[in-house]
Amino acid sequence: MSNKLLVPDIGDFDKVEVIELLVKVGDQININDAVVTIESDKSSVEIPTTVSGKIDSVHVKVGDKVSKGDLLLNVSSLKENFSEKPIPKDTESIIKQAEVVLKGEEKEKTISQEPIQKKKETIIKVTSNNDIDPLETQDWLESLSAVVQKDGNQRAHFLIKELINKAYREGANIPYTQNTPYINTIRPEAEVKSNGDQNIERRIRSLIRWNAAAMVVRANKKFPELGGHIGTFASAATLYDVGMNHFWRAKNNKFGGDLVYFQGHSAPGIYARAFLEGRLNEKQLDSFRQEVEPGGLSSYPHPWLMPKFWQFPTVSMGLGPMLAIYQARYMKYLINRGLIKDEGRKVWAFLGDGEMDEPESMGAIGLAAREKLDNLIFVVNCNLQRLDGPVRGNGKIIQELEGSFRGAGWNVIKVIWGSYWDSLIANDKTGHLVKVMNETVDGEYQAMKARDGTYVREKFFGKYPETQELVSSLSDKDIWRLNRGGHDPHKVYAAYDQASKNQGSPTVIIAKTIKGYGMGKTGESVNTTHQTKKLDVDDLLYYRDRFDVPLTDEQVKNVEYFKPDEKSLEIKYIKEKRMNLGGFLPERTTYSKPIKVPAKDIFDFMKVSTGEKEMSTTMALVRMFTNLLRDKNVSPRLVPIIPDEARTFGMEGFFQKIGIYAHEGQKYEPEDSAQLSSYREEKTGQVLEEGINEAGAMSSWIAAATSYTNHDIEMIPIYIFYSMFGFQRIGDLAWAGGDSQARGFLIGATAGRTTLAGEGLQHQDGHSHLIASTIPNCVSYDPTFHYELAVIFREGLRRMHEKNENVFYYITTMNENYSHPSMPKDNNCEEGILKGMYKIKEFNKYGKTKIQLLGSGTILREMMAAAEVLQDEYLIDSEIWSVTSFNELRKDGMEVERYNLLNPDKEQKVSFVEQCLGKTEGPIMAASDYMRMNSDQIRPYTNKSFYSLGTDGYGRSDTRKNLRKFFEVDKEHIVAYGLSVLAKEQLIASKHAKEAIKKYNIDGSKPMPTKL
Q: Which residue ranges make up the site for ligand TPP (CB under 6 A)?
A: 232, 235, 265, 315-318, 352-355, 381, 383, 385-387, 391, 515, 530
CB-wise, 74 or 532, nearer to Mg ion? Answer: 532
Q: Which does 217 bind (CB under 5 to 8 A by kind): ligand TPP, Mg ion, none?
A: none
For the CB of residue 400, give the shortest distance to ligand TPP in the complex, in Å: 13
Cα distance from N-terminal residue to C-terminal residue, the chain: 70
CB-wise, 51 or 397, nearer to ligand TPP? Answer: 397
Q: Which does 303 bind (CB under 5 to 8 A by kind): Mg ion, ligand TPP, none?
A: none
DSSP 842: E
User: Cα 791 to the chain's mean position, in Å?
Assistant: 28
Residue number with the shortest CB distance to ligand TPP?
352
- In contact, 785 and 855? CB cutoff 8 Å: no
Instruction: Give the C-alpha separation, 296 to 287, whole Å.
Output: 5
- In contact, 498 and 427? CB cutoff 8 Å: no
Phi and psi at residue 308, in whole multiples of 5°? -100, -5
CB-wise, 354 or 738, nearer to Mg ion? Answer: 354
Q: Which does 265 bind (CB under 5 to 8 A by kind): ligand TPP, Mg ion, none?
A: ligand TPP
CB-wise, 414 or 515, nearer to ligand TPP? Answer: 515
CB-wise, 530 or 544, nearer to ligand TPP? Answer: 530
Q: Is the dihedral of CA 932, 936, 938, 943 positive or negative?
A: positive
CB-wise, 203 or 449, nearer to ligand TPP? Answer: 449
For the CB of residue 181, give the shortest distance to ligand TPP in the complex, in Å: 24
Q: Is the dihedral of CA 214, 219, 225, 228 positive or negative?
A: negative
For the CB of residue 739, give the shortest distance to Mg ion in the complex, in Å: 23
For the CB of residue 535, give the shortest distance to Mg ion in the complex, in Å: 20
Q: Which does 239 bind (CB under 5 to 8 A by kind): ligand TPP, Mg ion, none?
A: none
CB-wise, 314 or 385, nearer to Mg ion? Answer: 385
Instruction: Give the C-alpha separation, 296 to 283, whole Å.
Output: 9
Q: Is the dihedral of CA 276, 282, 286, 287 positive or negative?
A: negative
CB-wise, 213 or 913, nearer to ligand TPP? Answer: 213
CB-wise, 383 or 858, nearer to ligand TPP? Answer: 383
CB-wise, 227 or 583, nearer to ligand TPP? Answer: 227
For the CB of residue 386, give the shortest distance to ligand TPP in the complex, in Å: 4
Q: Which does 316 bind (CB under 5 to 8 A by kind): Mg ion, ligand TPP, none?
A: ligand TPP
HEC profile of 946-1005: EEEECCCCCCCCCCHHHHHHHHCCCHHHHHHHHHHHHHHCCCCCHHHHHHHHHHCCCCCC
Q: How many residues comprise the chain?
A: 1012
CB-wise, 350 or 793, nearer to Mg ion? Answer: 350
For the CB of residue 530, give the shortest distance to ligand TPP in the complex, in Å: 6
CB-wise, 231 or 650, nearer to Mg ion? Answer: 231
Query: Among 28, 828, 865, 733, which residue's Cα sits nearest to residue 312?
Result: 733
Q: Which does 738 bind (CB under 5 to 8 A by kind): Mg ion, ligand TPP, none?
A: none
Instruction: Give the C-alpha separation, 305 to 294, whole Å.
Output: 9
Instruction: Give the C-alpha separation, 762 to 955, whole Å.
Output: 7
CB-wise, 37 or 385, nearer to Mg ion? Answer: 385
CB-wise, 218 or 515, nearer to ligand TPP? Answer: 515
- For residue 843, count other CB atoms closer than 10 A to its CB: 19
For the CB of residue 578, give the shortest distance to ligand TPP in the complex, in Å: 25
Stretch of 193-201, 385-393, 697-705, 1002-1010 contacting Mg ion, by CB under 5 A: 385-393
Say whether residue 383 binds Mg ion (CB under 5 A).
yes
Query: Among 554, 496, 548, 563, which residue's Cα sits nearest to residue 518?
Result: 548
For the CB of residue 513, give the shortest distance to ligand TPP in the complex, in Å: 8
Q: Which does 530 bind (CB under 5 to 8 A by kind): Mg ion, ligand TPP, none?
A: ligand TPP
Instruction: Give the C-alpha separation, 233 to 135, whole Å.
Output: 57
For the CB of residue 412, give the shortest distance to ligand TPP in the complex, in Å: 19
For the CB of residue 381, give the shortest distance to Mg ion in the complex, in Å: 6
How far from 514 is each of 480, 570, 883, CA to CA, in Å? 13, 26, 57
Q: Which does 927 bind (CB under 5 to 8 A by kind): Mg ion, ligand TPP, none?
A: none
For the CB of residue 492, give the shortest distance to Mg ion in the complex, in Å: 17
For the CB of residue 526, give the shortest distance to ligand TPP in the complex, in Å: 13
For the CB of residue 292, give the shortest distance to Mg ion in the complex, in Å: 30
Stretch of 384-392, 449-457, 843-851, 900-908 contacting Mg ion, by CB under 5 A: 384-392
CB-wise, 502 or 527, nearer to ligand TPP? Answer: 527
For the CB of residue 346, give the shortest distance to ligand TPP in the complex, in Å: 22
List, in sequence order, every beta strand (DSSP E) within 585-637: 614-615
Q: Which does 315 bind (CB under 5 to 8 A by kind): ligand TPP, Mg ion, none?
A: ligand TPP
Long-range pairs for 770-774 at CB < 8 Å and ≥24 separation? Answer: 770/930, 770/931, 770/933, 770/934, 771/727, 771/728, 771/731, 771/734, 772/727, 772/734, 772/810, 772/887, 773/887, 773/890, 773/937
DSSP 597: P
Binding positions for Mg ion, 321-380, rule CB under 5 A: 352-354
Instruction: Give the C-alpha separation, 920 to 189, whole Å.
Output: 85
CB-wise, 529 or 812, nearer to Mg ion? Answer: 529
Q: Which does 232 bind (CB under 5 to 8 A by kind): ligand TPP, Mg ion, none?
A: ligand TPP
Instruction: Give the C-alpha separation, 208 to 212, whole Å.
Output: 6
For the CB of residue 401, give the shortest distance to ligand TPP in the complex, in Å: 12
For the CB of residue 544, give the shortest distance to ligand TPP in the complex, in Å: 23
Q: Is the dihedral of CA 857, 859, 864, 867 positive or negative?
A: negative
Size of the site for Mg ion (CB under 5 A): 5
Instruction: Give the C-alpha separation, 336 to 685, whole Å.
Output: 8
With a CB cutoff of 8 Å and minimum separation 6, the contacts of 709 are 311, 588, 589, 590, 592, 741
Instruction: Give the C-alpha separation, 963 to 766, whole Å.
Output: 12
Binding positions for Mg ion, 615-654, rule CB under 5 A: none
Helix (H) / strand (E) containing 811: strand 808-812
Per-residue burial over 727-755, b if 16 or more Cβ lie within 10 Å, else e, is bebbbbbbbbbbbbbbbbbbbbbbbbbbb
Three-state DSSP class for residue 599? coil
Q: Interface residues with Mg ion (CB under 5 A)?
A: 352-354, 383, 385
